[in-house]
Every structure is written in structure tokens, then in C-alpha cells.
Structure 1
Amino acid sequence: MTTLTKPRSRAGGRAARRSSRGAVTFDMLPGLTRTLPTCEPMNADQIAQIDGASMDILEEVGVIFRDPVALRDWRRVGADVRGERVHLDRGLVRELVATIPSDFTYHARDPRKNVRLGGPHSIFVPMTGAPYLRDLDDVRRNPMLADLSMFHKLAHMMPALHSSAHHIVEPYDHPISQRHLRITYSSMKYSDKTFMGMTTSPKNAEDVMEMCALLFGADFIESHPVTTGNCNGNSPLVWDETMLGAMRAFCRRNQPVLCSPFVLGGANTPASVAASVAQLNAEALSALAYTQVIRRGCPAIYGHYLSTVSMRSGAPMAGTPEISLMNFMIGQMARFYGVPWRTSGALGGAKTFDAQAGYESAATLSAVIHAGANYIWHSAGWNEAGMHCSVAKFVVDAEQCAMAYRMAEGPQWGDFDQALAAIRDVGPGGHYLGHPHTQENFQTAFFMPDRFDNNSIEQWVADGSKEITERALVHARRLLEAYEEPRLDEGVNEALLDYIARREREIPAADALNQEY
């Protein structure tokens, strides 16, 4: 079995590189610190134009906050509230958004896996929310809790994934109303990386906060981000009671949320890249500002989900040039306001792990790296417009994240002089294969993907003519055989299970949509 090797350290010299050469590891890569310049298609006047248009939308059109608590909060800070529609003065918005930290550190169960977010600091997070999976036999079916745990184990073992996320797939063998408890426990139990918290209702979000308090300590989470919530807007220009209540549960405990308008370009935004960004920006700013009404100084993340809609079928599309352009522009706007931002990393609309899936995901991942995204969600497994998570694609996407990580770090200069000396040693007409510098650096100088086959056609045939899906599934099985659980403290584990048992007794095993919290 082979796994990714850690990139060459920038420090430590030849002895350190020699000792690590060829080492096999499941160790998580540190949070990515990007050095590549960002792609910025807008000039200063165009940034000001988007900002001005967004502020005009907030002041003149307004945003619906379909939630009585949020409306009271907005009145308290002086916003112009007319029914459910809130008109936000640009001065108030700027004042509130300015209190969001420009960067912060996520604290994981294993402190060695803490990661910084914001500015040049980025993390890769697996996909979530799939109602189906393509399993270890590449069969499309409904997932169960064991399938979710499998994905959490795989995420734990993938060096370039910095989070175990939450409901990578929906566990259909548990009632919807109680699912969030088992999902959160699986995230905590099978990986010691940071994770996401369910925001499917305000009460579910409060349960997640209580479980985080049991895992990390109630006082600790008051000052240390440990998880991430996601709050989706209803574009155009609506935030609902469910999302806002969940947002309050997280922000009151100082835990960051992704403030994520859900963009279907041409359907719920104008059929225009620039105008879509202006609307999305207004929606995101209204939610970001509200996080600071809830608790000044709490971390928050400028979010979005980007897709364009096929005018032939009405279906969402992935990997299109307009999505990349919007990512570039949103990155500029987030940096303009000085807040971290989220995007989606490896989206695909294909029904199987085929060439379409690869092209769409590669186009998206490359764009978000060049856009300077911080929280790169949906980075592994996403296919069929999010309807299924593919095991094969999950492990290949994770390696693609490692490749993107290497690229975003930028060129390495630590051995430049030694490499130049090799040119003098070899001279015209020679080769470098046997040179000491090559022998010392060949495993780390150039990324060698394990999931891709770069052998000759003869060797490929001799190895069984295996396509990438088959190779990836074989690799996934080997990973799972090698998995070692990062054990929870027994007392903490018992407290979590007791909490889950109590809440499952209290919560009716009915559809969460039929419950009142």
C-alpha cells in the first residue's frame, strides 16, 4: 500500500530530507499557506462598482429576514425594518463587518491538527449532504451510518483533507430528527481533525454546541473555534428562521458559520456574472453583518454555493467558465472587506466517475486555488450535482487536493544552489538520474500521483488494464484495512453517548420538518 508522502520541509537540510525520503504516512499536511499570486480580474474601480451596487441593494431593495428574533435584533441596532424586509445602511454594514476577525485558528481534537484560516491560509474539506453514495463496489445506493463512518475514516487518513466535515452522506438508517446526533458523534469519533456542525434546525445546532462543549470543554469553545456551521440563504435576498436560529446557536458560542447564498446563476440571480456577484455580495454581507449583531468579534466566513443553470434543462452545471470568474471576483470582494471566504472545490455533475467528472472538478479546483479561497468545501467525493458521494472520486479528489496544495505553496528555493551545481557537474549531453542531488530529491522534487497510471501501455495491460475507478476502489479498501481509530478519552466518549441517548429519548423519531423547536 502506498500513500502520499509529506512535501519536503523548507528547513532541516539534507539530513532531514534523507531521513524522510520514501516515508509512508497518513499524517495530515499542515494547513495550506498559499504563496501563488491570486487571479484578480477586477480593477479597483470595478471592485468599488460591485461594492456600491451591493450597498444600493441593501439600502434600497432590502433583504427579508423571515425570523422575529432577527427582526428585533436589527431594530435594536438601528436598522430600517419594514415588516420582514430589512433595509441596511451601508455605514452600519461596514461597521459590523469590520469587527469580523480576518483570520483565526481552528482547534482540533489533536492539537497538532489545528489549522489557521484567513488571508493566505486555506484548508480542504470533503463534500457533505449526499443522499446517495457510490460505494466500494461502485454501486449507487442509499447510505447508512456505517457508510458515513467509512467516509470519516477515509477523511481522517487523507493527508490533504483538513476536516472530517459532517454528513458527507445521509445515514438513512436513523430518523431524520435524530440524525444530527449520530453524524456529529461520527465526525468526532473517527477522526481527530476539525469538523463541521449540523445547522438543520436551531435546536440541532444547539445539540452540536453541547456536544462540542463535552468534547473540548464549555469554557474552551467560548474562545476557541472548533467547528463550522453552514447557513444557506434563499436567493434572491431571503434568510429564513431555520438558518438564522442555527446561526445564533453557533455565534453565541463563538463558533464560525459560513454565510452562504445559494446561487443558481440565471435562475435565482440575473443572467449576468457581474450582477450575480453584486446580488450574492449583498446577501453575504447582510448575513455577515448579522453575525456581529449576535456577538461582536465572533469569527464568520463569507460563503456561497456557485452554480450556473443550463437553459436547456434547468439543471445546475459545474466547471463552467462563469463559475470560475465569479470565484475570482468573490475572492476579491472578500479580501476587500477583510474576511475569510468559502467556496466549493471539486464539483461535478457527471453520473459516474468519468472524464466529465474529472474535467469539471479539475477546472473548479484550479480556479478556487487561483482565486485565493480559504475554506475549500466539497473538495472530495462530489458528483451528480451533489446527489451522490463516490468512494472512488473521494480518494482521487483527495490526492488532487494534495497536488493543488503543492502548487499553491509556490516554487521551493531551498536547494536552488545545489541544483545549479548539478548542472555544472553533468554538463552538456549528460543526464541527472544518477547525480547525488537527484538521488536525494527525486521523491520530493516533483509530485508523483499514486492514483494516476503513468506506466507504459504494456505495463498497464500486464497489471490488469485497470481504469482509475477500479484502482481507486482498491486503494480505498486498503486504506480502510489500515485505519486506526484515534481513540476518544473514555470519560468524554461516555458523556457524548449519554447525551445522545438522552436527546434521542427526548426527540420524537419523526421528520425534523414536522418538529417545533
Structure 2
Amino acid sequence: MSIQSKPGRSRAGGRAARRSLRAARDFRMLPGLTRNIPICEVMDGEGVEKIDAASMDILETVGVQFRDPIALEDWRKAGAKVEDEMVYLDRGLVRDLIATIPADFTYSARNPENNLRLGGPHAMFVPMTGAPYIRDLDNIRRNPTLEDLANFHKLSHMLPAMHSTAHHIVEPYDHPISHRHLRITYSSMKHSDKTFMGMTTSPKNAEDVMEMCAILFGESFMEQHPVTTGNCNGNSPLVWDETMLGAMRAFCRRNQPVLCSPFVLGGANTPASVPATVAQLNAEALSALAYTQVIRRGCPAIYGHYLSTVSMKSGAPMAGTPEISLMNFMIGQMARHYGVPWRTSNTLGGAKTFDAQAGYESATTLSAVMHAGANYIWHSAGWNEAGMHCSMAKFVVDAEQCAMAYKMAQGVTWDDFDAATAAIRDVGPGGHYLGHAHTQENFQTAFFMPELFDNNAIEQWAAEGSVEITERALAVARGLLADYQEPVLDVAKNEELLEFVARREREIPAADALNQDH
């Protein structure tokens, strides 16, 4: 369950044993997680109804601003009350629309063995995206390049607990902003055969992504099969803009799911209250989820959000706070109340380096996310400095943490219970189990043994150079990249994709940055 396929490791053997384990690594993706542990629900039925009622009242009386003439006309035709850019949504209309969102669906990957079911107990881990800086293989913070992005896509392909390559894990600064969506999408498609995310940085960029997906999968196939994921962020409080709504239409018209994600900075763009924040966020998410069904009834959609609380001392976003955990629990309850899959953010950190703060923040959020019952678990590897950089070291450690969480969330396994209890009778009082046949058969899988954590005696740790986790993780990342083997992409499709990218780069002025990204 760790990075290698055979995670068992004794204290004997040192470097030679680790070299042997490295040779034995299995890079196959873990199947999509089917959760088999209880969900933490912090609200009773009355609390859920209270949030629902408050959200519906916001939609009916406060309204949501849709800064997009096409969306406004769509809402008029759907029967909503529209005044200028304000849309007032009747709760009956909202409930009717969101009832047509599939409760679960299956992502089709380039490699069918990597298909993933999402919704209900079915979940997936997705790396972080959007970092303007990288902490690289030398732990230096700098501007990223397309090669850096490709390396993250390669790592995502090789790390078993990562179920997706996401999209722009880091920004490729060596390419014009207006062309990046093309290169980013091609990198996701080329360097991995897992599912991936599609850029939604403008309506036209989203359409380009859809065209590239049609080349890779076929237009008719996309009509019946989700193959990628878009993210549409709301402008809290209660605003959806033309860029996001246009991108949403591009995806939904092709039957591709989008994350409907209010961008919450608790206390800054929401009330300084956990339940009131959730009520506002819920109203924002519902308004976008309902609009996906105005665009195309029955298309898949995901209840999304980005959660952070704001320090009242500095105004800076914070990660790993108790309120974020509580809101994740509450949002999970609301999404299940409406019967739709939901997205959350995972191993977030505000630390500037991969230090103890980063670990504590990430572990706190990861634990809450697993017990909240999230489905699309985004930002699961690499996020630090409030998303300003993606750390190579943290990326591989986070992925191993997700593998640990994966095993925990599968619940208790009883398959060998009788054989294991029989060993108790065989060994008896005062004995040990190390040489018992049951131990020999099961030691590699019975207990998760992290590769990136050091559990040796301090003497052995010192003898091996007193290497701390950042250095260990960077060594593992280098080893993974050295071992990477590209999954073969059909030659004709590859050529067609490259031709499309080249044509669009000729058509889009490289200086047209402001109109193509934000």
C-alpha cells in the first residue's frame, strides 16, 4: 500500500534491503477507494434542515448574481425570477433541477484499468493544482516550467494512491499564458493514462480542452462517458461570473462533470460563523449545480468548494483549523442530503517549507476529509504555502499519506481472522510470532509500513547519515522519475493532438494573455 508494491521492511538489511524494495515497486494505480468506515456527521436531522432552509431562503430572497447574459436568459427560460443580473431561485425549481444530477458515475480513463467510480462510498485522490511556484528536486523555490509540470504528471502516474494527474499542478511559465491550457492538457494526456482535469480558465480554453478530449476518446464516447473534470469557482459572496459560467457550459454540453466550487475565505467573504458560512456556501453551490442541469439535464456535476478560514490578525488564509474540519463534515452531510457527489480539498498547508507545521496541517485535514465521506478529494499532494508552491518532497509524502488513509478507510478486514487467532494458540504465553507461518505469509500486507517515514533506532538512523524526511522524499522522487516509463499513446491520436495544439497556438495570439486566463 505504500509507494512500493511489497511494503514489508525489516530493520535488518539497511540500504541493500531498500534497494531491493525499490526494484520491487509496483506503480499500478490503487482501485478507486470504496469507503467502509463510518462517516462523521456533526448535525442531526434538524441541523441539516436548518442549513437547507437558510440556503433556500438566501436563493429566494437575497438572490445570486449571474454576471453573464447567456446564463440570465437561460434562467428566464427555466422559470426563474431575473432582475438585471440578479437571479432569484424558487426552492422548488432548485430541488427539481438538482434531482436530475446523477448520484454516482464512472470516469473513463485512457487505460480502462484506471476507470473510477465516483459518488456514494466511492472516492478518488487528485493532486494539487495552480501553484505559481515549485519547490524542486533541490528544494529550491522558483518559477516552474513545462518540464516541471511533466515531472509532476509522471509522479502522479507512478504514485498508486493518486487517481488523477489533475491539470496545471504548477504553472509552466516558459509558455505564453494564452497557450498554456493546450500544453497542460497535452501533458496530462501524454504522460499518464489515468483520468485528468480540464482547464476552465476561459470559455474558449474549455472548448479547446473538450476538442482535445474528443480527439483522445471520441465525441460519441464522451456523450455517454465522463472522461475529465472541470472546476468552476464562484466569487463569494453569491456571484458567478461570465468566465466560469461559459466554461461550465462548454463542459456540461459535452456531458462532462464540473466541480461547482464556491471559494470560501471564512470570515472574509462569508460570515464569521461556521453554520452561517455553510449556509451561504450551500446556497452558492446549489445555484451552480442547478444551472448545470439548465444547461443539460442529467449531466454529471459535483458539489464543490474551497475552504479556508482567515486569520483575524493578518487576513491570511489558514489551513488545518478545527472550523475547516467541522465545515467539511457539514458539507458532506448537505451533499448526501441532496444525493450528489461532492469535492473537498485535502492535504493543505500554509507552511513555507515542508516542516512540522505543513505535516500537522495536512494530517488534520486529511483525517477530517476521510471521515467526512468526500468523493472527489482534490489537492491531495504537494500543496504548501497556501497553494503558492507545490513541493516535490511534500508531493510524494502526501501521496503515501493518501495510501495510508486509503487502507484505513477500507475498514477492518476479517479474511484471515480464524487463521490469525489460531496462531495465538500455536504461540501461547511468552512466545513471539515472527517465525510463525501466518506472520511469514502476511507480514508484508498486515500492517502499512511507510517508506518515507524512518522508524529505525536512532543509532541506525545516525549511521545512515541522519537523513530527515525532506531529503528522503526528494531521493524517492528522483528515483521515481528515473524509473518512469511512459504509457504508450496511440500514434495517430498523438499526432492529431499535436496538430490541434499547433493550429490553436497559431490562431491564439501569444500576447492575448488577459483574455485567455486569469
Q: What TM-score, normalized to structure 1?
A: 0.96
1:497 equivalent to 2:479? Answer: no
- Which ranges of structure 1 fall in alignment gaps of 5 or more residues? 9-19
Quote the Cα distance in structure 2 between the aligned partners of 1:59 and 1:302. Answer: 20
Quote the Cα distance in structure 2 between the aligned partners of 1:227 and 1:24. Answer: 28
**Which amino acid is the alignment partner of residue 166 of structure 1?**
H
1:3 equivalent to 2:3? Answer: yes
1:319–1:363 CA contact under 8 A, matched in 2: yes
Quote the Cα distance in structure 2 between the aligned partners of 1:112 and 1:406. Answer: 20
1:393 equivalent to 2:367? Answer: no
Please name the residue that 1:440 is paired with.
Answer: 441
Please name the residue that 1:216 is paired with.
Answer: 217
Please name the residue that 1:479 is paired with.
Answer: 480
Work out the percentage of aligned pairs sharing the same amino acid. Answer: 80
Quote the Cα distance in structure 2 between the aligned partners of 1:431 and 1:45. Answer: 52
Worse-matched range after superposition: 330-339 or 431-440: 431-440
Q: SS where residue 169 of structure 1 aligns?
A: coil
Please name the residue that 1:66 is paired with.
Answer: 67
Quote the Cα distance in structure 1 between the aligned partners of 2:53 and 2:318. Answer: 29
Quote the Cα distance in structure 1 between the aligned partners of 2:191 and 2:502. Answer: 19
1:6 shift after superposition? 7.1
**Which amino acid is the alignment partner of residue 407 of structure 2?**
R
Quote the Cα distance in structure 2 between the aligned partners of 1:331 and 1:514. Answer: 36
2:259–2:301 CA contact under 8 A, matched in 1: yes
Q: SS where residue 487 of structure 1 aligns?
A: coil
1:149 equivalent to 2:130? Answer: no
1:137 equivalent to 2:138? Answer: yes
Within-5 A mapping of 1:302-381: 302-381=303-382
1:392–1:476 CA contact under 8 A, matched in 2: yes
Quote the Cα distance in structure 2 between the aligned partners of 1:120 and 1:355. Answer: 32
1:423 equivalent to 2:424? Answer: yes
Q: What TM-score, normalized to structure 2?
A: 0.96
Quote the Cα distance in structure 1 between the aligned partners of 2:50 and 2:309. Answer: 22
Please name the residue that 2:456 is paired with.
Answer: 455
Q: SS where residue 239 of structure 1 aligns?
A: strand
1:292 shift after superposition? 0.2
1:242 equivalent to 2:250? Answer: no
1:107–1:113 CA contact under 8 A, matched in 2: yes
1:430 shift after superposition? 1.2
**Which amino acid is the alignment partner of residue 227 of structure 1?**
T
Q: SS where residue 514 of structure 2 aligns?
A: helix
Please name the residue that 2:18 is paired with.
Answer: none
Please name the residue that 1:17 is paired with.
Answer: none
**Which amino acid is the alignment partner of residue 155 of structure 1?**
S
The 1:481/1:23 distance shift into structure 2, 3 A limit, reads closer
1:79–1:89 CA contact under 8 A, matched in 2: yes
Please name the residue that 2:14 is paired with.
Answer: none
Please name the residue that 1:509 is paired with.
Answer: 510
Quote the Cα distance in structure 1 between the aligned partners of 2:235 and 2:292. Answer: 17
1:426 shift after superposition? 1.0
1:7 shift after superposition? 9.2
Quote the Cα distance in structure 2 between the aligned partners of 1:4 and 1:314. Answer: 42
Quote the Cα distance in structure 2 between the aligned partners of 1:133 and 1:23. Answer: 29
Q: C-alpha deviations, 1:439-493, integer Å up to 9, x for none?
A: 1101100000000000000000111101100000001000000000001100000
Please name the residue that 2:12 is paired with.
Answer: none
The 1:423/1:23 distance shift into structure 2, 3 A limit, reads farther
1:318–1:385 CA contact under 8 A, matched in 2: yes
Worse-matched range after superposition: 287-296 or 22-31: 22-31
**Following TM superposition, where does structure 1 have runs of at least 4 consecutive aligned residues deviating by more than 4 angstroms?**
none
**Which amino acid is the alignment partner of residue 147 of structure 2?**
A
Quote the Cα distance in structure 1 between the aligned partners of 2:4 and 2:29. Answer: 10
1:258–1:342 CA contact under 8 A, matched in 2: yes
Please name the residue that 1:95 is paired with.
Answer: 96
Within-5 A mapping of 1:109-148: 109-148=110-149
2:197–2:228 CA contact under 8 A, matched in 1: yes
1:85 equivalent to 2:96? Answer: no
Q: SS where residue 75 of structure 1 aligns?
A: helix
Q: SS where residue 464 of structure 1 aligns?
A: coil
1:202–1:245 CA contact under 8 A, matched in 2: yes
**Which amino acid is the alignment partner of residue 265 of structure 2?**
L
**Which amino acid is the alignment partner of residue 333 of structure 1?**
M
1:515 shift after superposition? 5.4
Please name the residue that 1:164 is paired with.
Answer: 165
**Which amino acid is the alignment partner of residue 303 of structure 2?**
Y
1:34–1:120 CA contact under 8 A, matched in 2: yes
1:408 shift after superposition? 0.3
1:156 shift after superposition? 0.2
Q: SS where residue 65 of structure 1 aligns?
A: strand
1:24 shift after superposition? 2.8
The 1:7/1:372 distance shift into structure 2, 3 A limit, reads farther
Quote the Cα distance in structure 2 between the aligned partners of 1:120 and 1:515. Answer: 37
1:428 shift after superposition? 1.4
User: What CA RMSD, in Å, does the superposition of the two structures yield over aligned residues?
Assistant: 1.4
Quote the Cα distance in structure 2 between the aligned partners of 1:200 and 1:171. Answer: 14
Please name the residue that 1:201 is paired with.
Answer: 202
Within-5 A mapping of 1:396-411: 396-411=397-412
1:511 shift after superposition? 4.2
2:201–2:516 CA contact under 8 A, matched in 1: no
Quote the Cα distance in structure 2 between the aligned partners of 1:511 and 1:382. Answer: 29
Quote the Cα distance in structure 2 between the aligned partners of 1:473 and 1:297. Answer: 44
1:199–1:205 CA contact under 8 A, matched in 2: yes
1:6–1:29 CA contact under 8 A, matched in 2: no
2:7–2:451 CA contact under 8 A, matched in 1: no
The 1:7/1:340 distance shift into structure 2, 3 A limit, reads farther
1:131–1:388 CA contact under 8 A, matched in 2: yes
- Which ranges of structure 2 fall in alignment gaps of 5 or more residues? 9-20
Quote the Cα distance in structure 2 between the aligned partners of 1:37 and 1:215. Answer: 39
Quote the Cα distance in structure 2 between the aligned partners of 1:24 and 1:286. Answer: 46
Q: SS where residue 500 of structure 1 aligns?
A: helix
Q: C-alpha deviations, 1:201-241, integer Å up to 9, x for none?
A: 00000000000000001110111000000000000000000
Q: SS where residue 395 of structure 2 aligns?
A: helix
2:200–2:244 CA contact under 8 A, matched in 1: yes
Please name the residue that 1:14 is paired with.
Answer: none
Quote the Cα distance in structure 1 between the aligned partners of 2:217 and 2:144. Answer: 29
1:28 equivalent to 2:29? Answer: yes
Quote the Cα distance in structure 2 between the aligned partners of 1:6 and 1:84. Answer: 58
**Which amino acid is the alignment partner of residue 123 of structure 1?**
M
1:169 shift after superposition? 0.1
2:3–2:400 CA contact under 8 A, matched in 1: no
Quote the Cα distance in structure 2 between the aligned partners of 1:193 and 1:137. Answer: 28
